[in-house]
């Protein structure tokens, strides 16, 4: 199975063959780009020596924008024309938006693509793929300038819990930026790559990633250079921003700010972050916020943020349980994400796992560095032996079965790539089509899971209920993208789709999209023939029933009468289905059964006509 392969460091190919590749950590708060130079992975800085690019875009007009520190400065000046935390909207539909607190309701619209769109004060309208693409382009330009050439490919990291739609949206953003995606890599896995190569240690490791807006915990087993991801968990709405919010709340209270003063609240958030970051290195800071001047201490903010840190530990406990690992079996804890600089976070993580966490590699850079190492291998600058890596799928993938139940085909935490098949059968006699509804999630009821796609397998030969053998195969590639194949094995009829992102499209729209991958013309033709056959069936039923009523009892034995009657019932039932062939067959059976009856009726009517007439007259 699997796998991302990495060879020993320092064995790059000849300089003239060296292809340019980069790893990109496309973060909610900050992004970075890294590359392998002279056998060493390093992040790339801008002209001012800054490595981190805030994932913030300031739009001056539709195609005039700035990304990063400059854009972030504008957040305090004209927040209405600045977009941040766009990663939260990636691959999401408008229906998910009420959970996303960074964007106000009046800022969000449904754009033409079906994606949510962000409308700025200057009327510029952008969807999440476009905004992410602008960030990616800026990063790629930095790399191309530094390296003096075009990038041959990139590895982009995504949170482990990103679903199909979110992964696809990330790929789309890269494509829009003109980048070739070598692979999407889970962020914790990238961190493991960075550390694994450096230390080569063995055992069970926890990757604790607390960024600005997200928390990820992954349990990995490292053995003879092979990483296996045992489990992943976390919270997509928990991070350093929550620290900021809690501290901002305190500031707003101190300064008696009006509850609907949007500008002051924005300022409080920015101030809060500065205070938090400063208190990582010092014990107290002077604070000037609007009318309030005061002092804040580390102990004070630790009290404010402790409940948030505790929430991450709860996630850790749950994920360890998923992995079937006891806390004292964990050998090392890798710290990832800017928020792991907070001393309280380090302390509490150490208390929880009972080992001092690893912080050798800059927690901001570790993901980008791992991605760069991957990119360097995938572009072909390394021979591919040595290290294998397994990723897992974060949420179970299943199919809807009768009664609205979700049947899991690939359970969560299964290593990828993976292909798994399960057999299903028809529900009705003569059923010729099967609706396949692909869902993602852990719950038993389909309505509680996330709907990924619906499509139909058509042209199943009519059989009695339960006779058809429909094999549904789920295949997840190394990027975590899902392809579903449905095949009726006795006839070989198949349908095959790659699950595309829904971007919040309605189910009908998705169905339409997916169905257009099947032949329309053929379908239309069949529909017409089916309608004709149904009309014919109704005609036969009508005619034979009328004849039975007229003189069936006189001309037929009880047995003959019942045989015709039941074949009519069968035809009636078959004609409710949509198999042309089955209806044809049922009509034939009725005709065969009533042949004798028809000729007797003929005889009878001749006899009747003859009554009272002389033979001569005829
Ligand atoms: P993301 O992965 O979400 O983009 P990062 O890993 O870049 O996020 O982390 C950003 C978070 O780290 C922000 O909340 C930021 O305030 C916090 N952070 C960065 N440096 C420090 C620091 N020195 N002390 C405390 N928090 C910090
Ligand atoms: Mg991050």
Does pLDDT of 294 surpass 60? yes
Contact 413, 42 (CB under 8 A): no
Q: Which of 3-12, 88-97, 221-230 has the highest mean pLDDT?
A: 88-97
pLDDT at 452: 83
* DSSP letters for 215-244: EEEEEEEEETTEEEEEEEEEETT-SHHHHH
Whole-number percent of the chain with pLDDT over 90: 41
Among 1.10.3210.10, 1.20.1270.10, 1.10.10.10, 1.10.3720.10, name the CATH number for the domain at 522-610.
Answer: 1.20.1270.10
Average pLDDT over residues 65-72: 96
Segment 79-102, tens digit of pLDDT: 899 999 899 889 887 766 665 666
Specify the ligand 1 atom closest to the Cα of 337.
6
pLDDT at 615: 42
CATH topology of domain 397-518: Substrate Binding Domain Of DNAk; Chain A, domain 1 (2.60.34)
Question: Which of 105-114, 385-394, 482-491, 551-560 has the weakest average pLDDT?
Answer: 385-394
- 611 pLDDT tier (thresholds 50, 70, 90): low
Query: How many A from CA of 107 to the centre of ligand 1?
Result: 25
Which has the higher per-residue pLDDT, 382 or 4? 382
Residues 228, 232, 235, CA angle at the centre, nearest 5°?
A: 160
pLDDT at 435: 87
480: left (phi over 0), alpha (psi -120 to 50) or beta: left
Does pLDDT of 509 surpass 60? no
Specify the ligand 1 atom closest to the Cα of 276.
25
Whole-number percent of the chain with pLDDT over 70: 83
- 113 pLDDT tier (thresholds 50, 70, 90): low
Which has the higher per-residue pLDDT, 499 or 541? 541
Segment 154-179, tens digit of pLDDT: 999 998 778 778 888 999 999 999 99
Query: How many A from CA of 56 to the centre of ligand 1?
Result: 14
Which has the higher per-residue pLDDT, 390 or 381? 381
Count Cβ neighbours within 10 Å for each residue of 182-212 and write b for 16 or more, e otherwise. Answer: bbbbbbbbbbbbbbbbeeeeeebbbbbbbbb
Average pLDDT over residues 353-377: 93
pLDDT at 15: 42
- Ligand 1: which residues within 6 Å by Cβ? 27-30, 211-214, 239-241, 273, 276-277, 280, 337-339, 341-342, 364
pLDDT at 351: 97
Average pLDDT over residues 591-604: 85
pLDDT at 332: 87
Q: What CATH class has 21-240+303-392? A: alpha beta
d(CA 270, CA 453): 40
pLDDT at 394: 63
- 523 pLDDT tier (thresholds 50, 70, 90): low
pLDDT at 298: 98
Does pLDDT of 273 surpass 80? yes
- 542 pLDDT tier (thresholds 50, 70, 90): confident
* Domain boundaries along the sequence of the chain: 21-240+303-392, 397-518, 522-610
pLDDT at 140: 97
- 521 pLDDT tier (thresholds 50, 70, 90): very low
* DSSP letters for 327-374: GGG--EEEEESGGGGSHHHHHHHHHHHSSPPB-SS-TTTHHHHHHHHH
Specify the ligand 1 atom closest to the Cα of 336.
6
Average pLDDT over residues 507-529: 45
Active site residues: 25, 87, 187, 209
Segment 22-31, tens digit of pLDDT: 999 999 889 9
Query: How many A from CA of 144 to the centre of ligand 1?
Result: 26
């Amino acid at each position: 199975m699997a796998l991302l392969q990495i060879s020993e460091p320092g064995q790059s190919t000849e300089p003239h063959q060296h292809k340019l590749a980069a790893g990109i950590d496309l973060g909610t708060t900050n992004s970075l780009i890294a590359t392998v130079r002279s056998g060493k992975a390093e992040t790339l800085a801008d002209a001012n020596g800054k490595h981190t690019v805030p994932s913030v875009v300031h739009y001056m007009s539709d195609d005039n924008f700035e990304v990063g520190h400059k854009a972030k400065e504008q957040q305090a000046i004209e927040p209405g024309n600045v977009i941040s935390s766009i990663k939260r909207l990636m691959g999401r539909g408008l229906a998910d938006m009420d959970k996303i607190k960074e964007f106000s309701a009046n800022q969000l619209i449904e754009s033409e693509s079906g994606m949510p769109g962000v409308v700025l004060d200057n009327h510029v309208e952008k969807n999440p793929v476009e905004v992410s693409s602008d960030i990616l382009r800026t990063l790629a330009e930095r790399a191309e300038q530094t390296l003096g050439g075009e990038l041959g490919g990139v590895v982009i990291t995504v949170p482990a819990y990103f679903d199909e739609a979110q992964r696809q949206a990330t790929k789309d953003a890269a494509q829009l930026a003109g980048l070739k995606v070598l692979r999407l890599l889970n962020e914790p896995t990238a961190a493991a790559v960075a550390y694994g190569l450096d230390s080569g240690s063995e055992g069970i490791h926890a990757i604790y990633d607390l960024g600005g807006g997200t928390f990820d915990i992954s349990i990995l087993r490292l053995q003879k250079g092979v990483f296996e991801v045992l489990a992943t968990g976390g919270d997509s709405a928990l991070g350093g921003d929550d620290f900021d919010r809690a501290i901002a709340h305190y500031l707003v209270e101190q300064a008696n700010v009006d509850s609907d003063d949007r500008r002051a609240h924005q300022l409080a958030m920015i101030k809060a972050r500065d205070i938090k970051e400063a208190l990582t290195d010092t014990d107290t800071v002077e604070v000037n916020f609007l009318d309030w001047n005061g002092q804040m201490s580390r102990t004070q903010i630790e009290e404010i943020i402790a409940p948030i840190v505790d929430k991450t530990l709860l996630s850790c406990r749950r994920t360890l349980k998923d992995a079937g690992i006891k806390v004292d079996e964990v050998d090392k804890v890798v710290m990832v994400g800017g928020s792991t600089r907070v001393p309280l976070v380090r302390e509490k993580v150490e208390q929880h796992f009972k080992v001092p966490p690893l912080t050798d590699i800059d927690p901001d850079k570790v993901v980008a560095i791992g991605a760069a190492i991957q990119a360097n291998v995938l572009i072909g600058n390394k021979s591919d032996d040595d290290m294998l890596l397994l990723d897992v799928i974060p949420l179970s993938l299943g199919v809807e079965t009768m009664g609205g139940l979700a049947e899991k085909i690939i359970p969560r935490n299964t290593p990828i790539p993976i292909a798994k098949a399960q057999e299903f059968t028809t529900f009705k006699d003569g059923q010729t089509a099967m609706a396949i509804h692909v869902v993602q999630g852990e719950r038993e009821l389909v309505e509680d899971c996330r709907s990924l796609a619906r499509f139909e397998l058509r042209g199943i030969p009519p059989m009695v209920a339960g006779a058809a053998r429909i094999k549904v195969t789920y295949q997840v590639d190394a990027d975590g993208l899902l392809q579903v194949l449905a095949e009726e094995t006795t006839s070989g009829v198949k349908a095959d789709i790659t699950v595309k992102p829904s971007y919040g499209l309605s189910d009908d729209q998705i169905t339409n999209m997916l169905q257009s991958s099947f032949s329309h013309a053929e379908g239309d033709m069949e529909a017409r023939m089916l309608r004709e056959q149904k009309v014919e069936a109704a005609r036969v039923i009508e005619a034979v029933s009328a004849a039975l009523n007229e003189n069936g009892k006189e001309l037929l034995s009880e047995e003959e009468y019942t045989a015709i009657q039941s074949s009519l019932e069968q035809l009636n039932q078959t004609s409710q289905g949509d198999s042309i062939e089955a209806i044809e067959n049922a009509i034939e059976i009725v005709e065969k059964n009533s042949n004798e009856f028809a000729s007797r009726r003929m005889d009878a009517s001749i006899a009747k006509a003859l009554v009272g007439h002389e033979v001569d007259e005829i």
